[in-house]
Amino acid sequence: MTEGAQHRQAEAGGHYDVFHTDCPARDVVNHVTSRWGVWVLISLRGSSLRFYELRESIQGISEKMLAQTLRALVQDGLVWREVEPTTPPQVTYGLTGFGRDVGEPLTELFDRITRRLSPGSAG
């Protein structure tokens, strides 16, 4: 049973089979739930940010990992990227409509967790 890249949708309802290893939706889920993907989406929830502003907002992320994470999220259509032709170029990132839709439950989860933590246990 070969279907090439197996970018197939389940027959009932036209939904992706996210449990299949070649499902394109599975790649997006992996990017969103990666170590840094969640933090990028949460950081961009309020407004668009320049690369270095985004890096400063996510403590512990390296430039390399931020660039790699942003590249995947842009490719998935969750984040937009705008380059201003200045010297050096200024690159700004923000959430697309799809990114806002995906980020909303993540933000809600983040907010629920932080509300439940006692002030003394926050890091």
Over the chain (123 residues), the average pLDDT of each successive run of 10 is 34 63 80 88 95 96 96 96 93 96 90 82 55
Predicted confidence at residue 120, as pLDDT, reads: 63
Extract the runs of DSSP E, i.e. beta strands, from 1-113: 49-50, 79-84, 90-95
On whether residue 90 sits in a domain, the answer given is yes
On whether residue 16 sits in a domain, the answer given is no
- In a 3-state reduction of DSSP, which class is residue 84? strand
Predicted confidence at residue 16, as pLDDT, reads: 73
Predicted confidence at residue 11, as pLDDT, reads: 39
Predicted confidence at residue 122, as pLDDT, reads: 52
Whole-structure pTM value:
0.76
What is the total count of domains within the chain? 1
Containing structural domain, residue 57: 47-111
